[in-house]
Amino acid sequence: MAGSSALLNGALTRPINVSPGSRFGLDSFGSSAGAQARQLALQQILTFDTGVSLIGAASGVTASALKTAQDVNAALNGAPALQTVFPNSGLGQQLRQVASIIQVRAALGMNRQIFFCNMGGFDNHTDLLPNQDGLFATLDPALGAFYAATQELGVDQSVTAFTESEFGRTFQPSTGQGSDHAWGSNHVVMGGAVRGGDAYGTFPTLAIGGPDDTDNRGVWIPTLSLDQYAATLAAWFGVGNAALPSVFANLANFTTQTLGFV
């Protein structure tokens, strides 16, 4: 829902990029006889063998995208409208689109789906507290609406939403009442299968230069690793325990591979 993401690429699968609120495919062709003829001509051009591997691969991707767009449009057009009301925010509309595609998973022949949504604005080198207040006020109703939609669809036990980021922020304020990049951050995991209502890991001692600070700015040393976090989600998704170290190369550095929150 937010551009390309390496998380969604597989050995045998490729992602489809979606603009929330938009239809899929080439609607600009129109529905007239002439427009349909032009669209058919494009499809024929995409099957033309130039003998150049790069062109052939690009044509294959485009043809696959057009076919997928037709399938997704047909499935969405045949589904009833969601009753859950989503906030009219960027994240809210991304999650609404996710819920709509989950709703038509059977028509699309899907039994496992992964979606990526994005919410920026957290790089707060200045005015961190008021900025985060506004960001959390956007995040909260969007996640709440998404969970309500999974309940409406009867799939809340089968859908897990989680946040991810590659960095946190320092505890020590910088000029302008912001903070700089650091390690360690808190994340949210949500869904019917989640053992919720608890915090996993050990909260750091909030002391500059304290036992959990790797220097003198509040760069906290996490008590749980990103690999453990991701391995827990991957195990729930169906990756076998024996395969987890192959998927997460650093997992062997930790005694506990999965954290049990789902």
Q: What is the CB neighbour count within 10 angstroms for residue 10?
A: 9
Q: How many domains does the chain have?
A: 2
pLDDT in tens, 106-150: 999 988 999 999 999 999 999 999 999 999 999 999 999 999 999
SS3 assignment, position 117: coil
Shared-domain flag, residues 26 and 69: yes
Distance CA 124, CA 145 (A): 26
Domain span at residue 121 reads 80-189
pLDDT in tens, 180-206: 999 888 999 999 999 989 999 999 999
Distance CA 101, CA 15 (A): 13
Q: What is the pLDDT of residue 160?
A: 98
Q: Among 132, 165, 189, where does a domain finish?
A: 189
User: What tokens were used for 214?
Assistant: 């790797």
H helices, E strands: number in the chain:
6, 4
Q: Does the structure show a pLDDT above 80 at 55?
A: yes
* Nearest CA-CA partner of 101 in 146, 66, 53: 146
Shared-domain flag, residues 85 and 137: yes
Quick check: is 245 in a domain?
no
Q: Does the structure show a pLDDT above 70 at 28?
A: no
Q: Among 143, 173, 189, where does a domain finish?
A: 189
Quick check: is 260 in a domain?
no
